[in-house]
Amino acid sequence: MTELQPKIILVEPSHPGNIGAAARAMKTMSLSQLVLVKPKQFPHPEAVARASRADDILDNAQTVASLATAVEGCHWVVGITARTRKISSQIYTPRELMEKMLDQFAGLQVAWVFGRERSGLSNEELDLCQAICTIPADTEYSSLNLAAAVQIIGYEWFSRIHGMATHRRTGSKGDDSANSMAAAEEVEGFYQHLWDSLVASDFMDPVNPKPLKRKIRRLFDRAGLTRAEVNILRGILKSFNKQ
Ligand code: SAH
């Protein structure tokens, strides 16, 4: 069966060895789309050494300058993080994540975003994610090596795909129809429109807009906006702005 491959995005990895080990983890799980956001050292011999015959994945890896660029065209962006923040997004275990992915996003482009070895993902980067996935681990020591995290998420995907070869939900194909899920940049366009409107109406404090913005993002993340819904919401904003 052909399943659209999730993108594995590594944000600013500092050790080339981890990039190679992540590529190896990916290849064992039949994953091939690697995207690197501002890697510290890449290409690098240490990456090739640790990739151990998964160097085709390194050769085909895309390098980009920002997470926003990396997630362009993606319909569901999932932050893979051990840390949860104050305003909680939907938090999935890897298993729950795959269930949701295959149920609601079959045939659509999904991205999994992994963070830096030292500091993980920033809150601004997590804002670009519509959901969070945390690998259950010891509460006192829950931070896995980057490539180990890729391996575990990849394993759940692989087992799910191969265990559920016929699983499909109809009507969620990645076509251009109004009922398809909105792409990341379409949702961001809507948010920008909303922030501008909320500042113009004095509802949102332009000096400290972040807490409210986050709460609103979480609300729409839970809904999972379709293209048609984004259009309706933008139409509503436009009608208010006319008055
Ligand atoms: N010290 C960092 C940990 C970074 S580990 C921090 O506090 O965030 C590097 C990356 O591996 C993380 O950004 C995340 O993408 C992934 N990772 C490690 N452990 C994880 C876990 N238990 N659950 C989900 N992702 C994890």
Residue-level pLDDT at 241: 83
Residue-level pLDDT at 173: 45
Residue-level pLDDT at 181: 87
- Residue 75 — φ and ψ, nearest 5°? -95, -20
Looking at the fold, whether 142 and 200 belong to one and the same domain comes out as no
Query: Does 82 contact ligand 1 (Cβ within 6 A)?
Result: yes
Looking at the fold, whether 110 and 13 belong to one and the same domain comes out as yes
Query: Does 121 contact ligand 1 (Cβ within 6 A)?
Result: yes
Query: Does 237 contact ligand 1 (Cβ within 6 A)?
Result: no
Say which CATH number the domain at 13 has. Answer: 3.40.1280.10
Looking at the fold, whether 99 and 31 belong to one and the same domain comes out as yes
Asked if residue 76 belongs to a domain, the reply is yes
Asked if residue 169 belongs to a domain, the reply is no
Asked if residue 167 belongs to a domain, the reply is no
Residue-level pLDDT at 179: 80
Give residue 103's domain range.
7-161
**Mean pLDDT for back-to-back runs of 10 residues, the chain (243 residues):** 82 98 97 98 97 97 98 97 73 95 93 97 94 95 97 96 54 61 91 94 93 92 90 93 78
Residue-level pLDDT at 161: 87
Looking at the fold, whether 58 and 104 belong to one and the same domain comes out as yes
Q: Note if the bond before 43 is cis, omega within 30 degrees.
A: yes
Looking at the fold, whether 91 and 210 belong to one and the same domain comes out as no
Looking at the fold, whether 100 and 196 belong to one and the same domain comes out as no
Distance 146 CA to ligand 1 centre (A): 6
Looking at the fold, whether 117 and 85 belong to one and the same domain comes out as yes
Asked if residue 156 belongs to a domain, the reply is yes
Asked if residue 198 belongs to a domain, the reply is yes
Distance 125 CA to ligand 1 centre (A): 14
Amino acid at 187: V
Strand order in the sheet with 131-133: 62-64, 33-37, 7-11, 110-114, 76-80, 131-133, 91-92
Distance 117 CA to ligand 1 centre (A): 7
Query: Domain count of the chain?
Result: 2
List, as own/partner pairs, every contact residues 55-60 make where C-beta atoms lie below 8 angstroms and the sequence separation is at least 24, other chains included: 55/23, 56/27, 56/32, 57/23, 57/26, 57/27, 57/32, 58/19, 58/20, 58/23, 58/34, 60/32, 60/34
Are 76 and 110 spatial neighbours (Cβ–Cβ below 8 Å)? Answer: yes
Query: Does 135 contact ligand 1 (Cβ within 6 A)?
Result: yes
Distance 230 CA to ligand 1 centre (A): 32
Asked if residue 49 belongs to a domain, the reply is yes
Asked if residue 168 belongs to a domain, the reply is no
Residue-level pLDDT at 85: 64
Atom of ligand 1 nearest to the CA of 142: 22
Say which CATH number the domain at 210 has. Answer: 1.10.8.590
User: Which one of 130, 161, 192 terminates a domain?
Assistant: 161
User: Which one of 126, 161, 196 terminates a domain?
Assistant: 161
Distance 116 CA to ligand 1 centre (A): 8
Angle at 10 between CA 189 and CA 12, to 5 degrees: 95
Asked if residue 220 belongs to a domain, the reply is yes
Ligand 1, atom 11, lies closest to the CA of 146
Looking at the fold, whether 130 and 11 belong to one and the same domain comes out as yes
Query: Does 83 contact ligand 1 (Cβ within 6 A)?
Result: yes
Looking at the fold, whether 147 and 223 belong to one and the same domain comes out as no
Atom of ligand 1 nearest to the CA of 135: 23
Looking at the fold, whether 200 and 151 belong to one and the same domain comes out as no
Ligand 1, atom 20, lies closest to the CA of 82
Query: Does 120 contact ligand 1 (Cβ within 6 A)?
Result: yes
Query: Does 147 contact ligand 1 (Cβ within 6 A)?
Result: no
Looking at the fold, whether 58 and 155 belong to one and the same domain comes out as yes
Looking at the fold, whether 113 and 200 belong to one and the same domain comes out as no
Residue-level pLDDT at 2: 53
